[in-house]
């Protein structure tokens, strides 16, 4: 196989409602997901023996042993096929943006996987990352419905604080919160979408803020930038996002935040459909 290059874009939970909990402990969710331009990069080649190397600005601490979802995805989709995989990490880990899940889905995409069902064995977020476009995700991630969303100019900020998922769920005050409306409204432009999203929630934000107070500082900083229509945490944190009326406004906000907080991880660009950009191509 010639070397293949594929992107693993950041996943952003525009809203995330916790609606219940099954007897086996899995939480039931209802939320909207879109994808950002910032992405990890993977290169795959056939090799005599399988292996994974990790580099890039966010490589520290990323395992290269068989516990890594990248190697597990390769073994699931192409069993018995030894591959050399290079993962260049641009996305922070344990950040609520699905970095490991998106990496695994990118490997599956590069190897020709089209059925998201088997990927559920790797985690609830991996199937929706296989096709990185806006989705409504319900249940434990098995109920995926495509959603029409306009591009949403955004800034992503992580204070470089890792937030484990399990303690966030454990800190929920209640687990039977209202879901999204059965029928979503038409969201033809960014202004309409931002206004409607502001009426929704991320139910994991309060317990995550209690565990990591830096999240509150990030949300306050985003909300204070010019033009920010919504500041919210994504996933289980600690990454937060701000939504803006234009790409120019988002870029200006990102520049101001970088100047004020050079120690934070900051990225900007429109959230939406990254399917074409994330398609595999020769390295």
**Is the pTM above the cut of 0.95?**
yes
Categorize the per-residue pLDDT at 2 as very low, low, confident or very high, splitting at 50, 70 and 90. Answer: confident
Q: Which domains does the chain have, with CATH numbers?
A: 4-282 (3.30.230.10)
pLDDT tens-place string over residues 221-239:
999 999 999 999 999 999 9
Q: Note the pLDDT of residue 1.
A: 62
Secondary structure (DSSP) of 138-204: EETTTEEEE-----EEEEEEE-S----HHHHHHT-S-S------SSPPP--SHHHHHHHHTTS-BTT
Categorize the per-residue pLDDT at 283 as very low, low, confident or very high, splitting at 50, 70 and 90. Answer: confident
Which helix (H) or strand (E) covers residue 268, if one does?
strand 265-271
> Are 143 and 137 in contact, with CB atoms under 8 Å apart?
yes
Taken as a whole, the chain contains a residue count of: 283
Positive or negative: CA dihedral 247, 252, 256, 262: positive
User: Which two three-digit tokens encode residue 184?
Assistant: 């979503």
Categorize the per-residue pLDDT at 8 as very low, low, confident or very high, splitting at 50, 70 and 90. Answer: very high
Q: What is the mean pLDDT of residues 51-72?
A: 96
Residues ≥6 apart with Cβ < 8 Å to 14: 31, 32, 33, 34, 152, 197, 200, 232, 234, 271
Q: How crowded is residue 55: how many other Cβ atoms within 10 Å of its Cβ?
A: 12
Q: Is 89 annotated as catalytic?
A: no
Q: What is the mean pLDDT of residues 180-188?
A: 97
Categorize the per-residue pLDDT at 185 as very low, low, confident or very high, splitting at 50, 70 and 90. Answer: very high
Omega prior to 100 cis, within 30 of 0: no
Selecting among 125, 203, 268, 273, the annotated active-site residue is: 125
Cα(15)–Cα(202) distance, integer angstroms:
5
Q: Is 125 annotated as catalytic?
A: yes
**Percent of the chain topping pLDDT 90:** 98
Strand, coil or helix: 217: helix
Q: Note the pLDDT of residue 85.
A: 98
Burial class from Cβ neighbours inside 10 Å (0-12, 13-18, 19+) for residue 141 reads buried
Q: What is the DSSP letter of 17?
A: E
Categorize the per-residue pLDDT at 106 as very low, low, confident or very high, splitting at 50, 70 and 90. Answer: very high
Q: What is the mean pLDDT of residues 236-262?
A: 98
């Amino acid at each position: 196989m010639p070397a293949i290059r594929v992107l693993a874009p950041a996943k952003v939970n525009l809203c995330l409602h916790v609606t219940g909990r099954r007897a086996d402990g899995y939480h039931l969710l209802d939320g909207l997901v879109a994808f950002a331009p910032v992405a990890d990069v993977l290169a795959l080649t056939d090799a005599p023996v399988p292996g994974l190397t990790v580099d890039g600005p966010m490589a520290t601490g990323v395992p290269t042993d068989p516990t890594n979802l990248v190697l597990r995805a390769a073994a699931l989709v192409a069993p018995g096929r030894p591959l050399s995989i290079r993962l260049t990490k641009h996305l922070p880990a344990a950040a609520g943006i699905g970095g490991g899940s998106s990496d695994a889905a990118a490997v599956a995409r590069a190897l020709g996987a089209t059925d998201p069902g088997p990927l559920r064995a790797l985690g609830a977020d991996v199937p929706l990352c296989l096709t990185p476009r806006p989705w409504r995700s319900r249940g434990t991630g098995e109920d995926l419905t495509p959603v029409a969303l306009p591009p949403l100019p955004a800034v992503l900020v992580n204070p470089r604080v890792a937030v484990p998922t399990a303690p966030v769920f454990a800190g929920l005050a209640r687990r039977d919160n209202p879901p999204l409306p059965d029928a979503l409204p038409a969201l033809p432009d960014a202004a309409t979408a931002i206004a409607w999203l502001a009426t929704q929630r991320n139910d994991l934000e309060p317990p995550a803020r209690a565990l990591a107070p830096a999240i509150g500082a990030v949300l306050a900083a985003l909300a204070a930038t010019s033009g920010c229509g919504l500041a919210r945490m994504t996933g289980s944190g600690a990454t937060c996002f701000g939504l803006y009326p234009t790409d120019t406004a988002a870029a200006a906000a990102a520049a101001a935040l970088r100047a004020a907080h050079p120690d934070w991880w900051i990225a900007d660009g429109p959230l939406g459909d990254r399917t074409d950009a994330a398609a595999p191509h020769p390295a």
